């Protein structure tokens, strides 16, 4: 199932792949890009540390017994051992997501008079999904209190604010307080409850904000500590036009009024959640920066920014699954790099596990009988093997918490992103991520030429490097591997280190360069 990564060919400065496509105007038009890293100038706080931003929607436990369990890919080496390491997914969001049993209606399908009784709730599927997150060893879970969608049965009892609030609060009690309310309750299964604005109804106006605020106040009243249980929302979709409106402050999207409402009325908002759909990966940063500015200006500086999904606006080439997965992975990787500067606190990608078009209503039948209902995941195949879309999160897995250093030259303002850092205990080492997903309907390449001034003293004769490539050829890899390992010869006069390689587009490069260690 595993396939070896293809070693990259060494190219001289300015050399390009003859088969490459012409890149879009204003971005890498010469198919070559210089990257300069100042290893000795740190990035200013609060963006001074690398954030992994590698969350995902959907627990690793399968919805059907014949589908694969994804726990090893999500985390894997939490208990040690010789197996290849997993992605170290830090945040998993569970609830709604087209799964009937995980919706609020699926959890509480009864009448209002049954709301106080734990036995009236159907927690089994939700509990199993959250238990699989807890078994990862390092991930935390968010429960999204979403109403039923699609073919899922709707409970009209929950249309009224009172019963809906009680159902949400009691579900959180079950998930956090152990046996205090429910003898079969869980303890600390979640540390975030997300209240989508759509939970209140289809509107996005003052009445909807008021309903959301009342629900959030009720949840905070039952769970006073934001450290133990954070309240998140409103989970709305934003695009490039919304970014323009937020920046220009001309007819801004409803989320701007939502932020203002929460600030004016003291509504508890520990995390602002949103989804993005942008033409370029840098558009995610533009939206996030505008939201961060809105929160700060409203006096909500402590409210965290959490991206629930990052989608490219261009339709992927669905007829080529490998290229589609590679583009999605490179797009998300570039977006994660761009938003480090905001900084965004957490970011998730789309649904990892395979789903069902009927919301899982018939998952007791054989999988072969349900094949027409399967909703494939862009991140895993039906055997549970990760696609390039999932593998593209591995470079950031390598460096969470590392100190960022200044990238003097290299990134564009659209698609090509560069992140440089060093381990805390090795300030003279370099870790570099280069991601580019700008070709939406084909593949191409760009040659990057890296220079790190004064990386070593002039007397040092060589340094070690390791390079990994993640692109459309990397399907079905069980873990993360370096495709190229070697040595570089620094400039004898300046101590500069240089390296040039071809990055397939869409694709991600991860590079490590280390000084010789004293013996």
Q: What is the per-residue pLDDT for 362?
A: 84
Neighbours of 399 (CB within 10 A): 23
Written as six digits, the tokens of 405 are 């250093």
DSSP secondary structure of 65-101: TTSPP-HHHHT-GGG--SSPP-----EEEES-TT-GG
Q: What is the per-residue pLDDT for 477?
A: 64
Neighbours of 247 (CB within 10 A): 14
Q: State how far the Cα of 112 lies from the Cα of 215, in Å rounded to an integer.
A: 17
Half-sphere exposure of 61 (CA within 13 A, CB side): 18
Q: What is the per-residue pLDDT for 518?
A: 58
Q: Which residues in the chain come in under a pLDDT of 70?
A: 1-30, 76-84, 316-318, 439-443, 475-479, 517-519
CA-angle at 44, arms to 406 and 348, nearest 5°? 85
Q: What is the per-residue pLDDT for 205?
A: 93
Half-sphere exposure of 236 (CA within 13 A, CB side): 23
Reply yes or no on domain 55-106+124-131+140-151+191-397 having CATH 3.30.70. no
Q: State how far the Cα of 485 lies from the Cα of 198, in Å rounded to an integer.
A: 50
Q: What is the per-residue pLDDT for 3?
A: 32
Query: What's the pLDDT tens digit per position in 189-243?
Result: 999 999 999 999 988 999 999 999 999 999 999 999 999 999 999 999 999 999 9
Burial of 425 (0-12, 13-18, 19+ CB in 10 A): exposed
Query: In degrees rounded to 5, what are phi and psi of residue 298?
Result: -85, 0
Give the 3-state DSSP-derived string for 415-443, with helices as H, strands as E and coil as C. Answer: CCEEEEEECCCCCCCEEEEEEECCCCCCC
Q: State how far the Cα of 249 lies from the Cα of 240, in Å rounded to an integer.
A: 14
Q: State how far the Cα of 387 lies from the Cα of 164, in Å rounded to an integer.
A: 39
Fold classification of 32-48+403-514 (topology level): Immunoglobulin-like (2.60.40)
Residue extent(s) of CATH 3.20.20 domains in the chain: 55-106+124-131+140-151+191-397
Q: What is the per-residue pLDDT for 22?
A: 38
Q: What is the per-residue pLDDT for 7?
A: 26
CA-angle at 338, arms to 337 and 343, nearest 5°? 90
Q: Is 309 helix (H, G, I), strand (E, B) or coil?
A: strand
Q: What is the per-residue pLDDT for 448?
A: 96
Q: What is the per-residue pLDDT for 340?
A: 98
Residue among 266, 197, 270, 183 nearest 228 (CA): 270
């Amino acid at each position: 199932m595993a396939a070896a990564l293809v070693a990259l060919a060494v190219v001289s400065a300015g050399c390009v792949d003859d088969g490459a496509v012409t890149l879009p105007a204003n971005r890498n038009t010469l198919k070559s890009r210089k990257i300069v890293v100042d290893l000795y100038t740190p990035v200013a706080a609060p963006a001074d540390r690398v954030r992994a931003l590698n969350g995902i929607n959907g627990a690793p436990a399968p919805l059907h017994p014949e589908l694969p369990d994804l726990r090893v890919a999500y985390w894997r080496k939490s208990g040690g051992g010789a197996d290849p390491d997993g992605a170290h997914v830090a945040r998993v969001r569970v609830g709604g997501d087209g799964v009937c049993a995980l919706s609020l209606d699926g959890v509480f399908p009864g009448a209002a008079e049954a709301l106080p009784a734990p036995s009236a709730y159907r927690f089994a599927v939700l509990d199993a999904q959250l238990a699989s997150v807890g078994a990862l060893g390092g991930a935390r879970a968010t429960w999204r209190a979403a109403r039923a969608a699609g073919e899922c049965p709707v409970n009209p009892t929950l249309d009224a604010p009172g019963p809906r609030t009680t159902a949400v609060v009691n579900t959180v009690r079950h998930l956090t307080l152990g046996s205090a309310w429910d003898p079969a309750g869980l303890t600390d299964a979640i540390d975030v409850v997300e209240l989508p604005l759509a939970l209140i109804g289809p509107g996005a106006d003052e009445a909807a904000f008021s309903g959301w605020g009342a629900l959030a106040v009720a949840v905070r009243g039952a769970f006073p500590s934001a450290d133990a249980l954070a309240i998140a929302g409103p989970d709305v979709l934003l695009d490039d036009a919304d970014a323009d409106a937020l920046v220009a402050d001309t007819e801004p999207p409803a989320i701007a009024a939502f932020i203002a409402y929460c600030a004016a009325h003291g509504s508890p908002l520990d995390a602002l959640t949103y989804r993005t759909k942008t033409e370029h990966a840098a558009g995610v940063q533009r939206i996030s920066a505008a939201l961060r500015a809105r929160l700060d200006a409203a006096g909500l500086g402590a409210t965290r920014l959490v991206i629930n999904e990052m989608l490219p606006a261009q339709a992927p080439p669905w007829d080529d699954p490998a290229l589609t997965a590679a583009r999605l992975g490179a797009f998300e990787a570039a977006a994660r790099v761009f938003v480090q500067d905001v900084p965004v606190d957490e970011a998730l990608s789309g649904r990892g596990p395979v789903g069902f078009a009927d919301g899982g209503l018939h998952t007791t039948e054989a999988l072969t009988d349900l094949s027409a209902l399967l909703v494939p995941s862009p991140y895993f195949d039906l055997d549970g093997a990760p696609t390039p879309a999932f593998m593209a999160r591995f470079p950031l897995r390598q460096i969470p918490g590392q100190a960022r250093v200044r990238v003097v030259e290299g990134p564009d303002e659209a698609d090509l992103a560069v992140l440089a850092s060093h381990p805390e205990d090795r300030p003279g080492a370099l870790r570099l991520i280069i991601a580019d997903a700008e070709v939406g309907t084909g593949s191409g390449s760009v040659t990057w030429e890296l220079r790190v001034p004064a990386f070593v003293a002039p007397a040092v004769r060589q340094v070690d490097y390791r390079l990994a490539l993640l692109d459309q050829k990397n399907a079905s890899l069980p873990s993360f591997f370096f495709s190229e390992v070697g040595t570089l010869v620094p400039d004898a006069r300046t101590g500069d280190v240089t390296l040039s390689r071809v990055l397939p587009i869409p694709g991600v490069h991860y590079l490590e360069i280390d000084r010789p260690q004293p013996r």
